[in-house]
Amino acid sequence: MTSRIIAIGCSVLALTAGVARAADWGSKVPTEINITDPYLKQWNALTYDKAPPALEPGKDYGMSEDGTFRAPRATPLGGSPAFPGQLEAWDDKSYSQNVEEIAFYPHISSPWHAWPDVADFDGKRYMYVHDRDYMRVLDITDPAKAKVVYSRGGVWGPEGSSEDWDAKTVQDYFGGITIAWSAKLQKNVVVASYEIGRFGILDNKRTQPDIVATLRNYNSLKGFKVYEMNGPTPDDWKLIATRTTDTKNPNAPVGQQEGSGSLDAPAWFGGKYMYLSAAPDDSYALTEYPDYLHSPGYQVWDMSDPANPVFVSQVTVPGQVVGDKASEDAYLMNPRAGNRTSWMGSRMPLFLPTPVEKGGKVAFGAMGGLGLYTFDLSNPDRPEIKGHVETAPSFAGTEFDNVDTSQYARTGYVFANGYPMNSNCYEPYKDVLVIDAKDVAAPKVVATFPRPTPPQEAKFTDYCQRKGSFGPKRSGTTHQPGHGRDGIVPYAFYNAGLQIFDVKDPAQPKITGYFVPRFPTTSEMPDYTFDNASFAVFTEYDRNIIWLFSVGGVHALKTPLLGEPKLGMSDQVWPPRS
């Protein structure tokens, strides 16, 4: 009978033959350590195992006597046990203040994720709602009477998706897209990210060497594609460029490309400079996240000719590259090193309050557990690190994922947040941080957004009791029509729906409106999707319309906080022709 070393949580046990089952609180916890990949070997050897242990609901965290929720200190990724005091059934009530529903469109997106964007064609406005396994195009010229004009991929309903989709074998999909007007081509242009699969493939990189190898030799592009938009729907688009973000082997074919590919929607406004979130090769491996292999940095691309994108430079921050002593030393100084849980590196491109082509000189980089970085773009080819914000660890869930720069020009403040990855509040609460960045060399956290609380008519006193995920996701995208509105920022807040914050004084934010939709019934969607609740928001500031993406569909909303909605075309074409 053989003996093998099994790591569970933060302990190491010698067990007899057979693979230990993962604890009930998460399939992503380590079981039998089996690492063959050379980069993962180097990463794993740097630290000892400091994975957080399982916590007992009601004892280590849960409801307090005063009706507030006491959050866990730290948890592993995966597993979301219920705790005493939660509702037994999914809440079938909706709640709103200062927000009204214009229309609801069921079964438009998937229940997991949606990237939205819009573009105007021939007197109509179209919305693009997509993820890797589906694309929907809606004519939203009249948001009260939107209609689907293009559909590809599975449509979700009570039985799940209408089409099977295997993340391991997918070869062509749209990741995050950005639509911008190209003055050179005199057309709208789409740039679509393509990256290694992040969901439905790998559970634990320390125990699944075969899946790690699958991702290293991923059978889809690691990079981006550029399309000329000759009409509003993808069957009218023409592919004009394909690039890999692998800078070591830029001519490598699919299956031999290194790195992560391009994450999320590229930061491009139609001019020369495009900024991507990407790990350029497999040495960018210093991340604790159990089902992800890379620590993405940033790339700069020259898009003067959209048909011929040219790589310009890679931006790397301390603590990303395995095999580089200075980088490894910086990584080991981070208190998250060894926790087998935290995302390290970017998840989105650089955030630019003002495009470089319009005089922008500052960018912000949300680098997960590595913190928030400020950059000087005086030389846009080579962003220069100027400042850094670190916070105490908050895991599971992501840290420093999103940066809202909509108020920066007016105030010098930005808002940054991570978001929950576990359900049932089985992780520390993710605050939206108010950061004073007037001096980009010395940014500092000066306040946090108020934590949403349920209305008095609700049958619970804390949103954690409502079940599902609770916390901020993102405040929209950097390419929403009209860009933003002084003094107002909306956030998708998972089971707390849409939360609208008054940030006229950014150091004293307050909640001034909300729209919390009911959970679907099982006759509308399978209940295993309910956890995700409301996971994305997109605002047409030029028409005063907010789109909230929830597991059951898409809500078109209006609020007096923005003003009366415009139900026809905007006075200004989008994307702008500049």
pLDDT digits (tens, 9 = 90+) for 341-394: 999 999 999 999 999 999 999 999 999 999 999 999 999 999 999 999 999 999
Pairwise CA distance, residues 72 & 70, whole Å: 7
Chain centre distance of CA 196: 15
Pairwise CA distance, residues 240 & 101, whole Å: 40
Pairwise CA distance, residues 38 & 303, whole Å: 35
Q: Are 479 and 117 in contact (CB under 8 A)?
A: yes
pLDDT of residue 79: 82
Q: Are 204 and 28 in contact (CB under 8 A)?
A: yes
* Bridge partner residues of 499 (DSSP): 491, 514
Low pLDDT (below 50) residues in the chain: 1-27
The residue ranges of DSSP E strands in 76-196, in sequence order, are: 95-97, 100-106, 115-121, 124-131, 134-139, 147-153, 156-157, 160-161, 177-182, 187-194
263, 506, 492: which is closest to 405 by C-alpha?
506
322, 439, 44: which is closest to 207 by C-alpha?
44
Pairwise CA distance, residues 278 & 164, whole Å: 28
pLDDT of residue 56: 95
pLDDT of residue 24: 37
Q: Are 511 and 501 in contact (CB under 8 A)?
A: yes
pLDDT of residue 28: 52
pLDDT of residue 26: 42
How many CB atoms are closer than 10 A to CB 561? Answer: 18
